Amino acid sequence: MEFPRKQYMKKLMSKMNNGRVKIITGIRRCGKSYLLFELFVRYLYEKNVSDEQIIRLALDEFPNVRYRNPVELDKYIRDRIINHTKQYYVLIDEIQFVAEIQNPFMEDKKAKLTFIDVLLGLMKIPNADIYVTGSNSKMLSTDILTQFRDRGDEIRVYPLSFAEFYEMYRGNQRDAWIDYYTYGGMPVVMQLSNHEEKSRYLRDLFEYTYIKDVIERHDIQNETAILADLLNIIASSIGSLTNPTKLANSFLSEKQIRINSTTIDRYLGYFMNAFLIHRANRYDVKGKKYMQTPLKYYFTDVGLRNAKLGFRQQEESHIMENVLYCDLIRRGYDIDIGVVEQNIKTEEGKKIRKQLEVDFVVNGGERRFYIQSSLSIADPEKRKQEIASLIRIQDSFNKIVVVRDYIKPWRDDYGILYIGVEQFLRDEDAIQL
């Protein structure tokens, strides 16, 4: 089964021959290598680029182990750029396998050579266009962008979106949403035939890839179980407000483990750097300021989240919220959790301040959208509850309620748009209806 990954191909094509290193990042097994070595190479062939102009090197393959030495890697590539009248495309997969070595030409033992030195040198070859992918365990986007500053372009790849999933879905399309919110969008999962195979694959990814990556990168010795438990707690509470202090209290009350909030916060940072989870901050819409705590965490892929919990907690409302968050991030928006304060009087006549939540405050350039996620608004009282925060926002930006029900998009008297989740996810222009 072939996934065209049109969004990422468009980005690659737009950045060709721009004099910068293209750095393809994203959660492990989301299709970075396939994007570069299959889809992008095919595109180059269609543009009449010859084999000799495409320098491909997969550093995770045993025949290429010698090129994990940065000096050997540099020599290998330069020896193949033999015609200065032709454009060459250098594609390096799993760049993190390149070792850090002492500079053999300097006596100073602190003088090191890494893949960064190789790439910065290759960039100066006028007819070489450089593309790399790397593992999150040793090559994080934050590390790379710091090293390259204004000389590298990051292309973040995500698991299959629902739109991509739906396009390739081979079953009854009415079942597509159920399969997606159950198993997520990791490409290999879509090629597996039953629940047992999908479940095993997703659980193995956690145990043998993601957790292992975090442990190796940060040299964690004795707290593997704590990392797993922390992910379980986050997975159980998607869509719920929390913070490191609350999570530390959960360890104490549920596991009888005392761990301070600073350590919890550091571990959450490890998971975010590995692209396993995202953090959404809270934003006071009327006060136009950020609130430090509490906040929310979402999984990059809901299938991974569900597998981590053994598919036991399948609350569609929370999973749908997670799917919407990730899809909006994939589209390039900045997402916050909105808060709208309301002054009310109690039955005793006492004035109190109440906080109403907006699921997503979506920002993109000069555009903004406010989005609520709801399984259903068929009940009038439920709809009133869902839009309570939206009708108190006085600006003119679009306000949207995304529902699980199959409905034809419509607007109410407040100008709020109601739309079904499948249409919203499949049609990126739906956000502007």
- Both 119 and 198 in a single domain? no
- Both 131 and 206 in a single domain? no
Residue finishing a domain among 157, 179, 209: 157
| pLDDT the model gives residue 344 | 75
Q: Is the dihedral of CA 134, 138, 142, 144 positive or negative?
A: negative
Do 94 and 59 meet the contact criterion of CB atoms below 8 Å apart? yes
With respect to residue 301, please indicate whether it lies within any of the assigned structural domains: yes
Do 303 and 183 meet the contact criterion of CB atoms below 8 Å apart? yes
Tokens of 288: 């136009």
| pLDDT the model gives residue 172 | 87
| pLDDT the model gives residue 219 | 87
- Both 224 and 367 in a single domain? yes
Measure the CA–CA gap between 384 and 372, rounded to whole angstroms.
12
In degrees and rounded to multiples of 5, residue 78 shows phi and psi of -65, -35
- Both 243 and 376 in a single domain? yes
With respect to residue 218, please indicate whether it lies within any of the assigned structural domains: yes
Measure the CA–CA gap between 16 and 28, rounded to whole angstroms.
24
Residue finishing a domain among 115, 132, 157: 157
Neighbouring residues of 419: CB distance < 8 A, sequence distance ≥ 6: 400, 401, 402, 403, 407, 409, 430, 433
C-alpha radius of gyration, the chain, whole number:
24
| pLDDT the model gives residue 298 | 97
Bridge partners (DSSP) of residue 102 are 112
In degrees and rounded to multiples of 5, residue 421 shows phi and psi of -65, -40
| pLDDT the model gives residue 140 | 53
With respect to residue 281, please indicate whether it lies within any of the assigned structural domains: yes
Look up the pTM and report it.
Answer: 0.93
With respect to residue 123, please indicate whether it lies within any of the assigned structural domains: yes
Question: How are beta strands 334-345 and 277-284 bridged, if at all?
Answer: parallel
- Both 125 and 177 in a single domain? no
Measure the CA–CA gap between 153 and 141, rounded to whole angstroms.
10
With respect to residue 300, please indicate whether it lies within any of the assigned structural domains: yes
Q: For the chain, what is the domain count?
A: 2
Domain that holds residue 417: 169-433
Tokens of 261: 């909030």
Residue finishing a domain among 124, 157, 190: 157
Neighbouring residues of 93: CB distance < 8 A, sequence distance ≥ 6: 32, 33, 36, 37, 56, 57, 58, 59, 60, 132, 133
The per-residue pLDDT for range 48-85, each reduced to its tens digit, is 999 999 999 999 999 999 999 999 999 999 999 999 99
Q: What is the 3-state secondary structure (H, E, C) of the chain?
A: CCCCCHHHHHHHHHCCCCCCEEEEEECCCCCHHHHHHHHHHHHHHHCCCCHHHEEEEECCCHHHHHHHCHHHHHHHHHHHCCCCCCCEEEEEECHHHCCCEECCCCCCCCCEECHHHHHHHHCCCCCEEEEEECCCCCCCHHHHHHHHHHHEEEEEECCCCHHHHHHHCCCCHHHHHHHHHHHCCCHHHHHCCCHHHHHHHHHHHHHHHHHHHHHHHHCCCCCHHHHHHHHHHHHHCCCCCECHHHHHHHHHHHHCCCCCHHHHHHHHHHHHHCCCEEEEEEEECCCCEEEEEEEEEEECCHHHHHHHCCCCCCCHHHHHHHHHHHHHHHCCCEEEEEEEEEEEECCCCCEEEEEEEEEEEEEECCEEEEEEEECCCCCHHHHHHHHCCHHHCCCCCEEEEEECCCCCCEECCCCCEEEEHHHHHHCHHHHHC
- Both 63 and 116 in a single domain? yes
With respect to residue 346, please indicate whether it lies within any of the assigned structural domains: yes
Residue with tokens 């053999």: 104
Do 185 and 301 meet the contact criterion of CB atoms below 8 Å apart? yes
- Both 209 and 329 in a single domain? yes
- Both 388 and 357 in a single domain? yes
- Both 56 and 174 in a single domain? no
- Both 395 and 368 in a single domain? yes
| pLDDT the model gives residue 431 | 84
Look up residue 212 and give its amino acid: K
Residues of the chain with pLDDT under 70: 135-146, 149, 346-347, 349
Q: Is the dihedral of CA 203, 204, 205, 206 positive or negative?
A: positive
